[in-house]
Amino acid sequence: MVLLSKEDYRHLTQCDTLEDLKLHLQGTGYGHFLANEPSPLTVSVIDEKLREKLVIEFEYIRNHAYKDLATFLDFIKYSYMIDNIILLITGTLHQRQLSELLPKCHPLGIFDQMETVTIASTTADLYNAILVDSPLAPFFKECISEEDLNEMNIEIIRNTLYKAYLEAFYDWCQQKGGATADVMCEILAFEADRRSIIITINSFGTELTKEDRAKLYPRRGKLYPDGLLELSKADEYEAVKRVSELYAEYKPLFDGTGNNPGDKTLEDKFFEHEVTLNVNSFMQQFQYGVFYSYVKLKEQECRNIIWIAECIAQRHRAKIDSYIPIM
């Protein structure tokens, strides 16, 4: 299965209707994945089918994997599980029905006990009753408290979980060694730093204290330890920028970003950098990084297709070209 080429994207952006999009995707690696859908198509159907295809491919690989590769692929799944749990908890906090929330969960991150998280009112409850059996349990240890779940708490849980997850994943890859470590540590370090930076930027103007914030930084990236120390003192965007500019990898990402029209957002820049890292992982052989990159790139590609499809469906062609180019 190959990724879409520049040519494909050019054709996709020229489509007038979603039917055209479907017709063109038939000629690519996606094949007839929409063939059994009656017209008219909607973006949500396309999204669902794209996701389904990715999941089928992933499960196919997972079912054929054993030992280390199986662990590695499970690690990829954990991040989706974290997202799902957080989604469900937030949803219940806002009095949403479970049936309404479930379709929004990523199918890669579904596990048996997931749907029962709604009964928990404190984090300790959440851990003791539900998550202790799930693969996420080891990541959860740091955030057990008797406090009630509220919005702030959930954000903290999410970030603590992610931190523990990234650190565990990083350490696993490091211990695995070889080309896998070379490739994956690079990608995961970037992921960790991106989280640190985003957490810092998002924390401005909230009641999160600087000490608490520092606890959320994943300590495996290139910013660790000096950068993170500086970052924990920052209290405005410019300060974050100053810290990041000390690192050659991140300097270009901050250059030329802004909220003016025509500028790319920092988030997009991060995405682009992630794509480059993932594409580079295919330069090495005999390592697991390609599986991670494959999933991430495929996911990005799906996001791109959905973006284009949305633009077409909403007749909002001006921004159709601002997808993240992959190759």
Partner 1 sequence: MGSLFRSEEMCLAQLYLQSEAAFACVSELGELGLAQFRDLNPDVNAFQRKFVNEVRRCDDMERKLRFLEKEVKKDNLAIDDTGENPPAPLPREMIDMENKFDKLETEMKSVNSNQEALKKNFLELTELKHILRKTQQFFEQIILTKYKKNNNQAALYQQDQETHVPQQYDDETPLIASEFSRSFNRFGFVAGVLMRDKISAFERVIWRACRGNVFLRYTEIEAELEDPHTGDKVNKYVFIVFFQGDQLKSRIKKICTGFRATLYPCPETPQERREIALGVMTRIEDLQTVLNQTADHRRMVLSQVALNIRVWLIKVRKIKAIYHTLNLFNVNIEKCLIAECWCPVVDIDRIQLALRRGTELSGSSVPSIMQQMQTKENPPTYNQTDKFTSGFQAIIDAFGVSNYREVNPAPFTIITFPFLFAVMFGDMGHGLLMFLFALYLVLKENRYMKHKPEDEIFKMMFDGRYLILLMGLFSIYTGFLYNECFSRSINIFGTSWNVRAMNFTDNDVFLATNPVVTLDPNKPGVFRGYPYFYGIDPIWQSAENKITVQNSYKMKNAVLMGFAQMIFGLSLAFCNRRHFKDKLTLYCELLPQLLFLCALIGYLCMCILYKWSVWTVAQSNTAPSLLIGLIDMYMLTDPKSNNRVPLYTGQYQVQIFLVIVTVLCVPWMFLSKPYILYKRSKQKKGVRLDSQSDDDVAILHHENNDANYGKQEPESFDMSEVIIYQAIHTIEFCLSCISHTASYLRLWALSLAHSELSEVLWSMVMHTGLATSGTSGAILSFFVFWFFSSLTVSILLVMEGLSAFLHAIRLHWVEFQSKFYKGEGYIFSPFSFTLIVEGKVEE
Range 265-274 burial, b when 16+ CB lie within 10 A, else e: ebeebbbbbb
Contact between residue 274 and residue 296 where contact means Cβ atoms under 8 Å apart:
yes
Nearer residue to partner 1 within complex by CB, 38 or 225: 38
Query: Is residue 133 a contact residue for partner 1 (CB under 8 A)?
Result: yes
Binding partner 1 by CB under 8 A: which of 115, 230, 245, 272? 115
Token pair 């999009």 is found at: 21
The number of beta carbons lying within 10 Å of the beta carbon of residue 82 is: 21
Nearer residue to partner 1 within complex by CB, 27 or 325: 27
**Rounded alpha-carbon distances, angstroms, from residue 225 to 154, 196, 219, 236, 252:** 26, 12, 7, 20, 21
Instruction: Give me the helix-helix angle, 226-233 and 237-244, nearest 10°.
Output: 170
Nearer residue to partner 1 within complex by CB, 128 or 276: 128
Segment contacting partner 1 by CB under 8 A, of 123-131, 140-148, 171-179, 206-214: 123-131
Query: Is residue 42 a contact residue for partner 1 (CB under 8 A)?
Result: no
Query: Is residue 229 a contact residue for partner 1 (CB under 8 A)?
Result: no
What is the size of the binding site for partner 1 (CB under 8 A)?
30
Residues sharing a CB contact under 8 Å with residue 262, sequence separation 6 or more, in sequence order: none
Binding partner 1 by CB under 8 A: which of 3, 13, 19, 144? 19
Query: Is residue 309 a contact residue for partner 1 (CB under 8 A)?
Result: no
Per-residue x/- mask for partner 1, residues 48 to 87, rule CB under 8 A? Answer: ----------------------------------------
Tell me the two tokens of residue 270.
Answer: 């991060």
Residue 288 identity (one-letter amino acid): Y
Tell me the two tokens of residue 288.
Answer: 């697991």
Per-residue x/- mask for partner 1, residues 174 to 213, rule CB under 8 A? Answer: ----------------------------------------
The number of beta carbons lying within 10 Å of the beta carbon of residue 176 is: 17
Can you say whether residue 120 is alpha, beta or left, with left for phi > 0 and alpha for psi between -120 and 50 degrees?
A: beta
Segment contacting partner 1 by CB under 8 A, of 72-80, 130-138, 144-152, 262-270: 130-138
Query: Is residue 222 a contact residue for partner 1 (CB under 8 A)?
Result: no
Query: Is residue 119 a contact residue for partner 1 (CB under 8 A)?
Result: yes
Rounded to a whole number, what is the largest CA-CA distance in the chain? 56
Binding partner 1 by CB under 8 A: which of 5, 27, 150, 233? 27
Q: Which residues lie near partner 1 (CB under 8 A)?
A: 11, 14-16, 19-20, 23-24, 26-27, 35-39, 98, 112-119, 125, 128-130, 132-133
